Structure 1
Amino acid sequence: MSQTSLLKLSSHRAAGKPERLLRSAVTAFSAIARPTRRETAQLDDLAVPLLGSVSDETLRFAAATLSDSPYAPPTLVRRLCDMSVDICAPLLMRSPVLNGIDLIALIGRHGLPHARAIAARKELDPRIVRLIASLGAFEQDHTPDKADVTRDRLLTMMRSASETTGPVKVPEPRLRWEERPDGYRKLRSTALAGVPTLFQIALADALEITLDTARTLFGGDDMSPLIVALRALDLSEEQAFLICQCAGSSRASDARAVRRFIDAFQSITDAQADAVVAAWRNRPAAARSSHNANEFRASSG
């Protein structure tokens, strides 16, 4: 995509199509391997005025698309990061454009919600970690994980939750990990946070797939893609079940449902799960939305 192509996109502005224009501009920019300064400035000039005229879904698309790019326009990134955490979480958790001063300023302006997302960044400056901890963003959890938790205990936990009566106040997302969480603890914490984007980003990082691919694992009632993904991460049955119950689209309601989950999880071999995840990593972007569980069925046939 050339500079001229980016400029041509501005012709849509007069047609009153800010949603299409912003998506097209961000997509075109992300397709450039090494954007020039002029191309970066063009996207800034084009996109920033549109931010107040598009839907939250389009803003989330822009934030997710630009989250991994070291060339993303700084002004656009910072404007997106000043929005609610459900929009800008990918940028807060991953964007290389944000430096330490940016992160501290964002925490100062937006408090705990942004701080908790920033806490998920890799190689975070220890001083920023201490700042986030001082705000109470880390909930210390010293209870050891128990790989031998039985089905009955899982069902008891589920029944206790389902029998709770009265209005339920939804808490703010709270990430339950210490300063250096392992892979399972990060997945569990983001699943329990109740913000789908946080879990999808953590899963994408764990599997080394794109965020768009991770999102397609949650497209419907079919849980098999998520089960395959968790199987590839070498989790225990209990760990995978807990994450599926928190982050998946369906809930097990009785012992038979728990048994079906465990049977499905155990039926997938390490080699099959690894082959499916490898296919997700190598798929062209246009084909990812149709992956579903076909890769697993093909590998096990």
Structure 2
Amino acid sequence: MKYPEFRALEDRNGGSKADDLLTASITAFCCVARPAKSDARQLEDLAVPLLALASPRVRRHAAAALSEIPHAPKRLILALAADDVDISAPLLLRSPVLKPADLIGLIQQKGIGHARAIARRQIEDAALLQTLRHFHDPAIDRALALQTGLPVSQEEEPLDRVETESPRLRETREALRALMRDTDAGLSTDQALADHLIDAALLDQTHFFRGEFAKALDLDNETAERIIGHSLNAELTIALASLGLSAEAAHLVLTGLFGLVHKDLHSLRLFVQSYRQIDQDKAQATINRWKTEENSQKLRQKLREMAADFERGGTGSSTRKVS
């Protein structure tokens, strides 16, 4: 995934020099199939000083792009992981570079927001588990229970509750939205909705995203789950376009759901070009057709149930008459 290319593809005239340098350097590194230690060192020396000057959006893209790369430079990963959880979430959830000692240090430094994200990793280290359990936080306890197969409450924690319990996270989101309102680069028709879906996808909680996605499209959860599927597909892309998401926002959502969906620059460019060619009105017409099919299926199911009830009732009456 080469998120940095969105800076050039979405707005060729915008962006600071720090943003451009950071995105270009990460793009170059991600394009190398087997980078040498010298490549990682060069990226680290160039990128780490730029983080303080780069915009939240570009730092967020950098974290997502590097989240599954085992040979990413550790000092850069640690710097990004110590950023606000809106930016660091992909690394906290998936980065193989972060070891238990690193994660414990991040929890001690950043607090419960980072701890909740880290708790969703597959954790076997006893010291890290003890650090997480020390919070006595329902969200953390639920995530750890799911890993060990212990019974958990059937009530899912709503995304709004997570936001309410994390004022720092909420403030960061508002700052990001304010930043994006100041520029036309990569904006969605409904930027608040785009941010909300991106947050839900990057939190690595599929049930959260499925619920928010179904609500946005006014579809059943079952239909939403079918559309989302297990990998990048045309129906999901059309659905995101119908909601007015920009190519950048759509790509962030797809990455939060499925990881690295475009692993080279060429495929990323093709995605942006093809996504921009989707007509929003036609995409909405497709969604309306899905709703019609959904309602038709519900009606057929209801008629089948009524026919079965009638048949059972008729059979019962015949039996009573014979007796």
Query: In the aligned structure 1, how far is the partner of 2:44 from the partner of 2:206?
Result: 42
Alignment correspondent of 1:64:
64
From 197, 203, 212, the counterpart of 1:244: 212
8 Å contact from structure 2 (residues 115, 140) kept in 1: no
Residues 27, 180 of structure 1: alpha-carbon distance in 2 compared, 3 angstrom cutoff? farther
Q: How big is the shift at 1:176?
A: 6.8
Q: How big is the shift at 1:53?
A: 1.2
From 282, 285, 289, the counterpart of 2:268: 285
Q: Select the structure with the greater relative contact order (CA < 8 A; seq sep ≥ 6).
A: 2
TM-score, length-normalised on structure 1? 0.53
- The one-letter amino acid of 1:191's match is L
Secondary structure of 1:179's match? helix
Q: How big is the shift at 1:180?
A: 3.4
Superposed CA offset, 1:10-54 (max 9, x none)? xxxxxx711111011112211222211111001001101111111
Alignment correspondent of 2:85:
85
From 136, 139, 145, the counterpart of 1:180: 145
Query: In the aligned structure 1, how far is the partner of 2:206 from the partner of 2:114?
Result: 30
8 Å contact from structure 1 (residues 176, 189) kept in 2: no
Query: In the aligned structure 1, how far is the partner of 2:17 from the partner of 2:132?
Result: 40
- The one-letter amino acid of 1:130's match is Q
Alignment correspondent of 1:125:
125
8 Å contact from structure 1 (residues 40, 73) kept in 2: yes
Normalized per residue, which structure has more helix?
2
Q: How big is the shift at 1:93?
A: 1.4
Query: In the aligned structure 2, how far is the partner of 1:101 from the partner of 1:186?
Result: 32
Pairing 1:202-241 to 2, within 5 Å after superposition = none
- The one-letter amino acid of 1:39's match is D
Q: How big is the shift at 1:80?
A: 1.6
Alignment correspondent of 1:265:
220
- The one-letter amino acid of 1:125's match is D
Secondary structure of 2:51's match? helix
Q: How big is the shift at 1:111?
A: 2.2
8 Å contact from structure 2 (residues 132, 140) kept in 1: no
Alignment correspondent of 2:307:
none
Bigger drift between 290-299 and 126-135 goes to 290-299
Q: How big is the shift at 1:102?
A: 0.7
Residues 132, 18 of structure 1: alpha-carbon distance in 2 compared, 3 angstrom cutoff? same
- The one-letter amino acid of 1:63's match is A
Residues 20, 273 of structure 1: alpha-carbon distance in 2 compared, 3 angstrom cutoff? closer
Secondary structure of 1:57's match? helix
8 Å contact from structure 1 (residues 44, 73) kept in 2: yes
8 Å contact from structure 1 (residues 56, 87) kept in 2: yes
Superposed CA offset, 1:214-259 (max 9, x none)? xx9x96769xx99xx9xxx998xxx988x328x96x5xxxxxxxxx
Query: In the aligned structure 2, how far is the partner of 1:74 from the partner of 1:57?
Result: 21
**Percent sequence identity over matched residues?**
29
8 Å contact from structure 2 (residues 104, 128) kept in 1: yes
Q: How big is the shift at 1:273?
A: 5.7
Residues 98, 297 of structure 1: alpha-carbon distance in 2 compared, 3 angstrom cutoff? same
Residues 85, 33 of structure 1: alpha-carbon distance in 2 compared, 3 angstrom cutoff? same
Alignment correspondent of 1:101:
101
Query: In the aligned structure 2, how far is the partner of 1:110 from the partner of 1:234?
Result: 25
Query: In the aligned structure 2, how far is the partner of 1:100 from the partner of 1:84?
Result: 19
TM-score, length-normalised on structure 2? 0.50
Q: How big is the shift at 1:295?
A: 11
Bigger drift between 94-103 and 271-280 goes to 271-280
Structure 1 residue runs of 5 or longer lacking an equivalent are 1-15, 140-173, 197-215, 251-259
8 Å contact from structure 2 (residues 120, 143) kept in 1: no
- The one-letter amino acid of 2:21's match is L
- The one-letter amino acid of 2:47's match is A
8 Å contact from structure 1 (residues 77, 91) kept in 2: yes
Q: How big is the shift at 1:267?
A: 8.7
Query: In the aligned structure 1, how far is the partner of 2:145 from the partner of 2:50?
Result: 38
Superposed CA offset, 1:144-186 (max 9, x none)? xxxxxxxxxxxxxxxxxxxxxxxxxxxxxx557241328x989
Residue 56 of structure 2 corresponds to residue 74 of structure 1: no
Query: In the aligned structure 2, how far is the partner of 1:65 from the partner of 1:74?
Result: 14
- Rg: which structure is higher? 2
